[in-house]
Amino acid sequence: MHRENNILTLLCINISIGKEKIMILIKNAEVYAPKYLGKKDILIEGTKVKKIADYIEINLPDNLVETIDLSDKILIPGLIDQHVHITGGGGEAGPSSRVPESNLRDFISCGVTTVLGLMGTDGISRSLENLYAKAKALNEDGITCYMSTGSYSYPSVTLTGSVERDIYLIDLCIGVKIAVSDHRSSNITSEELIRLATEARRGGLISGKSGIVTMHMGSGKKRLSPVLAAIKESDVPVKNFIPTHVNMRSSELLEDCVEFAKIGGTMDFTAGFSAEDNSTEADKIFQLLDRGVKDSLITVSSDAFGSQPRFDEEGKCIGLTYSTSNTLMQLLNALVSKGMSLEQALKFFTVNPARVLGLEGIKGTIGETADADLVVLDRDMRIISVMSKGKIAMADEKVMMKGKFEL
């Protein structure tokens, strides 16, 4: 122990007295990484987790180290929300139905520290230029945000002229969005989906990114058949195809997803809009697990700031609302209250989406060298504090990290 303390001291000998604190020492936290680690101390240096141990002591002046005692508290990774309309979605009932864009506090207050931003139905008044600027702003303000090119339509709208070039040339772009089996889609065929997925796959390979195709699934008659056909008829790996909203449509679509999972595909659930809704969505996850779907093949996102329209039999929009990322914790709590371990339930919101986004070991986990994205819960599973990239974003239920124009 003495040798470890000396090493930690030597690492910081070049830090002069009076500067901003350069380390945070978390004591006595009950850690779910999401794997249960038990009671641990965690040392944060800069944006990273530097050390995890049963006991850590640092011989440095108090003005260089902030110590936080989390006795009787639970520490989990920052949540990943991989389907967010950060610039606002909607528009299905005309211009006045456009959903407002997100704010930083909307994510911090919900324990979300990593976001994938994308567009929705409206690829005209909503632009990829604005999406990119908003993603950059969220990164500058304190969380981690990526984006997908494209929207509902095919051929995909892009910034550089092609999906492959967008993924390769745009630093924050990791994949493409498309709509499948939806009356708002371009009725994309399996052949067109193969071409799109191949572009995304190549762009991902040469840029070192995931190159995923996020597929908004509607309630159309073809359900998942264009996706299953594209996988069968091409050499694009199944991991590049990510169908989302699969739980919000029909039992037949979920049945297709069981077949999708059998070939190794990962499906994305959309959290419900209320605690009551999320009780139902939790039951669907249990049903899939009972059917043999591996828990590593399910992720959960919020569809935050994207509209949830209701259409009549003639396709007229008769109602519209939207949600925020707070639905993630609602669904997490529903799963745990129904008997799932916190360790297992957390996978859907942390390590699983991290793998899908190509961020495994960096995001969605509490581990040495991982980003210091952490959420503190009390014993009632309420969010108390949040850390994003090593900075205190929320403390004692008060949001500290805000965008430049947020009150």
Q: Is the dihedral of CA 155, 159, 163, 164 positive or negative?
A: positive
Amino acid (1-letter code) at residue 286 = F
* Strand locations in 118-238 (E): 144-150, 173-180, 212-217
pLDDT for residue 61: 84
Nearest to 25 by CA among 15, 40, 4: 40
pTM to 2 decimal places: 0.92
CA distance 152 to 185: 6
Do the beta carbons of residue 94 and residue 317 sit within 8 Å?
Answer: no
pLDDT for residue 14: 43
Tens digit of pLDDT at every position of the chain (407 positions): 444 444 444 344 444 444 567 899 999 999 999 999 999 999 999 999 999 999 999 988 888 999 999 999 999 999 999 999 999 987 777 887 888 899 999 999 999 999 999 998 888 889 999 999 999 999 999 999 999 999 999 999 999 999 999 999 999 999 999 999 988 888 999 999 999 999 999 999 999 999 999 999 998 899 999 999 999 999 999 999 999 999 998 999 999 999 999 999 999 999 998 889 999 999 999 999 999 999 999 999 999 998 766 767 777 767 677 888 999 999 999 999 999 999 999 999 999 999 999 999 999 999 999 999 999 999 999 999 999 999 999 999 999 999 989 87
CA distance 294 to 222: 25
Question: For the residues of 67-134, what is the DSSP string, one character each?
Answer: EEE-TT-EEEEPEEEEEE-TT--B-TT-GGGBPPPP-HHHHHTTTEEEEEE---S-SSSS-HHHHHHH
The domains located in the chain, with CATH, are: 2-76+367-399 (2.30.40.10), 78-356 (3.20.20.140)
pLDDT for residue 3: 46
pLDDT for residue 312: 74
CA atoms within 13 A on the CB side of 100: 4
Q: In this structure, what DSSP letter does residue 20 have?
A: P
CA distance 307 to 268: 17
pLDDT for residue 165: 98
Cα of first residue to Cα of last residue in the chain, in angstroms, is: 46
pLDDT for residue 92: 74
pLDDT for residue 13: 40
Map tokens 């919900």 to a residue: 110
pLDDT for residue 309: 65
Residues catalogued as catalytic: 303
